[in-house]
């Protein structure tokens, strides 16, 4: 066999460390005709986010952005037309900057981050912008979708797999120790933690204000999240209806709502961040995506986290902070039970989660990451953090991050 050519040796790659520079988001709104963004375009939401990232970091020349990856679950209308590329152009990036759209349902923005981060590590990019947008008021989940009849006719999935609230009820069936009372208590705590963080000024750094319009109310400025319900109690939640099953356990109070919003972040090779003077808020350690039974999609973060831990050689004991997407309380509680973590562990969603702030589907992954980055800045005693979420049609996604500010102290 002939020896490898010298030219082939030059193709060898040394993987580079990838850092999360910064993340921002619009305030999240309630989907529907009276919501914050009822008459605001979805692409305008993500354009505002990209512009704010560039405004906050003038040390980043726009021409140094190598890729823009934007996720949307319902890629139609003003969320369609390869939104990563169109949003880049609308945001004023040079026309030499490419972009693309991505879809992994709720984990769209998370997948945008891991996809471009892999490209950065490989050397295909130096700097990229990743994010997500979902306008569930204009584009309800499933709009224009035509599921193949084979899914049901050939019993590939149960009919409940196509309705996320029903999958959450199925998860309650599987984990009998997760009662409605327990889910309601977790939901009330999420609202209280978010309200406390808001009052302490913790949320403001994440937000970028955005102009809104209404044919009846005129122009306005969105500066705060619309979904939170401060003062929510377990007693209040106990009275809510269970729309997915008679005498069920999933309600509008212990699940995330239907929301509109956009998120975005800057990612870079660590050496390039140093060259440009960009901050390093987090360092990517590893990630994992898995498939699970679609009927219990909420269990997805359990095996995806196990995979991410296995890939990185870490254990759950190494994780000092958790940002878990609260699509449903039962889904987070199933994760906590599996790993032996208490419902009220202070490491978990310290500023509340999606039950309070909302879950505009494809955008939520970067919200988790942005909040984890803020926690890291305040917690030099914590080395590793996890962002994880369940994903529709039976998947889970988990990303592990390292704190560059870690000082070696014990958490």
Catalytically active residues, by annotation? 106, 359, 390
- Residue 404 CB partners (closer than 8 Å, separation 6+): 19, 280, 281, 282, 283, 376
Q: 288: exposed, middle or buried (C-beta count within 10 Å: 0-12, 13-18, 19+)?
A: buried
Between CA 51 and CA 62 the distance in angstroms is 10
* Cα angle: 103, vertex 296, 372; to 5 degrees: 55
C-beta separation of 361 from 31 below 8 A: no
Residue 303 neighbours by CB distance under 10 Å:
18
Give the three-class secondary structure for 220: strand
366: closest CA among 106, 189, 135? 106
C-beta separation of 225 from 357 below 8 A: yes
State the DSSP code for 327: S
45: closest CA among 8, 87, 11? 87
State the DSSP code for 351: T
Q: 279: exposed, middle or buried (C-beta count within 10 Å: 0-12, 13-18, 19+)?
A: middle
- Residue 82 CB partners (closer than 8 Å, separation 6+): 99, 100, 101
Q: Which helix (H) or strand (E) holds 306?
A: helix 301-312
Q: Whats the size of the chain, residue-wise?
A: 411
DSSP 13-61: -PPPPEEEEEEEEPPPEE-STTSTTTTS-HHHHHHHHHHHHHHH-TTS-
Strand residues in 26-150 grouped as ranges (E) = 29-30, 67-71, 99-102, 127-135
Calculated CA dihedral for residues 389, 390, 391, 392, nearest 10 degrees? -150
Per DSSP, what are the bridge partners of residue 255? 328
């Amino acid at each position: 066999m002939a020896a490898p050519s010298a030219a082939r040796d030059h193709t060898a790659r040394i993987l580079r460390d990838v850092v999360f520079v910064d993340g921002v988001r619009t305030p999240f709104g309630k989907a529907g005709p009276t919501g914050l963004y009822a008459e605001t375009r979805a692409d305008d939401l993500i354009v505002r986010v990209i512009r704010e990232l560039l405004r906050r970091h003038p040390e980043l020349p726009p021409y140094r952005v190598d890729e823009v990856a934007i996720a949307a679950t319902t890629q139609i209308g003003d969320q369609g037309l390869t939104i990563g590329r169109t949003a880049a152009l609308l945001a004023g990036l040079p026309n030499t900057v490419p972009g693309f759209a991505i879809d992994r349902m709720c984990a769209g923005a998370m997948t945008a981050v891991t996809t471009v981060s892999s490209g950065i590590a490989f050397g295909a990019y130096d700097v990229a912008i990743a994010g997500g947008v979902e306008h569930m008021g204009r584009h309800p989940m499933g709009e224009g979708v035509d599921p193949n009849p084979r899914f049901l006719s050939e019993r590939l999935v149960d009919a409940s797999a196509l309705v996320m609230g029903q999958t959450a009820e199925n998860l309650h069936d599987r984990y009998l120790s997760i009662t409605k009372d327990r889910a309601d208590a977790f939901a009330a705590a999420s609202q209280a933690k978010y309200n406390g963080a808001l009052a302490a000024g913790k949320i403001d750094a994440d937000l970028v204000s955005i102009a809104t319009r209404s044919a009846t109310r005129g122009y306005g400025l969105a500066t705060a999240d619309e979904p939170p319900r401060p003062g929510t109690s377990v007693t209040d939640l106990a009275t809510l209806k269970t729309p997915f099953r008679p005498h069920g356990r999933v309600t509008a109070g212990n699940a995330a709502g239907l929301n509109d919003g956009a998120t975005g972040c800057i990612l870079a090779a660590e050496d390039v961040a140093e060259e440009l003077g960009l901050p390093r808020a987090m360092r990517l350690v590893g990630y994992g995506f898995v498939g699970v039974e679609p009927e219990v999609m909420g269990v997805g973060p359990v095996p995806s986290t196990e995979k991410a831990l296995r890939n990185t050689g870490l254990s759950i004991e190494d994780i000092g902070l958790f940002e878990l997407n609260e699509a449903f309380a039962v889904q987070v509680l199933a994760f906590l039970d599996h790993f032996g973590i208490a419902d009220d562990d202070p490491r978990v969603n310290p500023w509340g989660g999606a039950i309070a702030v909302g879950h505009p589907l494809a955008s939520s992954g970067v919200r988790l990451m942005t909040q984890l980055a803020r926690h890291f800045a305040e917690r030099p005693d914590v080395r590793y953090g996890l962002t994880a979420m369940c994903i529709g049609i039976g998947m889970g996604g988990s990303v592990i991050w390292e704190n560059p500010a870690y000082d070696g102290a014990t958490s």
